Structure 1
Amino acid sequence: MGKKGDEEQMIQVHQLTKNYGSFTALQSVDLQINKGEFVAILGPSGCGKTTLLKLLAGFMKPTDGEIEMDHQIVASKKQLIPPEKRNIGMVFQSFALWPHMTVYEHIQFPLLHHHYVAKELKADVDRRVRDVLKLVGLTEMADRYPAELSGGQKQRVAFARAVAPLPHLLLMDEPLSALDVELRMEMRKEIQNIHRKTEASIVYVTHDQGEALAMADKIVVMNNGTIEQVASPEIIYSRPETEFVATFVGKCNLVKGTWEKDFFIPEKAPYEKWLDTGVSVPLKKKGIYPVRPEQWQLTNNSHSALQGTITFVQYQGKEIHYTVEVENETWTIHESVHSLRYSIGDQVGLTIKTNECELLTV
Structure 2
Amino acid sequence: MTTIIENLVKRFDQTTALKKINVTIEDGEFIAILGPSGCGKTTLLRLLAGFDSPSSGNISIGDQRVSDNKMTLPPEKRNIGMVFQSFALWPHLNVRKHIEFPLLHHAYVPKDTSVNISKRVDEVMEIIELTELANRMPSELSGGQKQRVALGRAIAPKPELLLMDEPLSNLDAELRMEMRKEIQELHRLTNATIVYVTHDQGEALAMADRIVVMNKGEIEQIGTPQEIYSRPNTPFVANFVGKANLIDGMWEADQFTPASNPNLTWPDLGVSVPLKKKGIYPIRPEQLTLMEDDRGGIHGVITSVQYQGKEIHYTVQANGQAWLVHTDLMQKFQLGQQVTIQLKVSVREDNRNVVYL
Aligned CA RMSD, in angstroms, stands at 1.4
State whether residues 273 and 360 of structure 1, in contact with CA within 8 Å, keep that contact through their aligned partners in structure 2.
no
Aligned with residue 351 of structure 1, among 342, 346, 355: 342
**Contact 1:17/1:26 (8 A) holds in 2:** yes
User: Which ranges in structure 2 are unaligned for 5 or more consecutive residues?
Assistant: 349-353
Which letter does structure 1 place at the counterpart of 2:186? I
Contact residue 295 and residue 356 of structure 1 kept, 8 A: no
Match of 2:237, SS?
Answer: helix
Give me the whole-angstrom Cα distance separating, in 1, the residues matched to 2:118 and 2:127: 14
Alpha-carbon distance, 1:356 to partner: 7.1
2:304 to 312, 315, 324: 312
Whether the 8 Å contact between 2:345 and 2:356 is mirrored in structure 1 is no
Aligned to 1:341: 332
Partner of 2:31: 39
Alignment correspondent of 1:213:
205
1:94 counterpart = 2:83: no
- Give the alignment partner of residue 21 of structure 1, picking from 13, 18, 38: 13
Percentage identity across aligned positions?
A: 58
In the TM superposition, structure 1's runs of 4+ consecutive aligned residues that sit over 3 Å from their partners are: 356-361
Cα distance, 1:359 vs. partner? 7.9
How far apart are 1:81 and its partner, in Å?
A: 1.4
1:230 Cα deviation from its structure 2 partner? 0.2
Please give the residue correspondences for 1:294-313 in structure 2 after superposition, counting only pairs within 5 Å. 294-313=286-305
User: How far, CA to CA, are the matches of 2:346 and 2:225 in structure 1?
Assistant: 21
CA distance in structure 1 between the partners assigned to 2:103 and 2:182 by the alignment: 22
Structure 2 letter corresponding to 1:349:
T
Q: Which residue of 2 is the match for residue 122 of structure 1?
A: 114
Q: How many residues align?
A: 352
List runs of 5+ in structure 1 lacking aligned partners: 1-7
Q: In the alignment, does 2:175 pair up with 1:183?
A: yes
| 1:219-260 residue CA offsets vs partner (Å, 9 max, x unmatched) | 000000000000000000000000000000000000111111
Deviation at 1:287, TM superposition (A): 1.2
The aligned residue for residue 166 of structure 1 is: 158
Q: Over residues 56-90 of structure 1, what are the superposed CA-to-partner deviations in whole Å (9 max), with x where a residue is unaligned?
A: 11111100100111132110010111111111100
Give the Å deviation of 1:341. 0.6
**Equivalent of 1:263, from 255, 260, 283?**
255
The answer to whether 1:51 aligns with 2:43 is yes
In structure 2, the residue matched to 1:3 is: none
The 2-side partners of 1:31 and 1:305 are apart by 42
Read off the aligned partner of 2:179 and give its amino acid letter.
M
Structure 1 residues 232, 167: closer, same or farther in 2, change over 3 A?
Answer: same
The counterpart of 2:319, out of the listed 319, 327, 330, is: 327
Normalised TM-score (structure 2): 0.96
1:240 maps to which residue?
A: 232
C-alpha deviation, 1:297, in angstroms: 1.0
Aligned to 2:346, the other structure's residue is in SS state coil
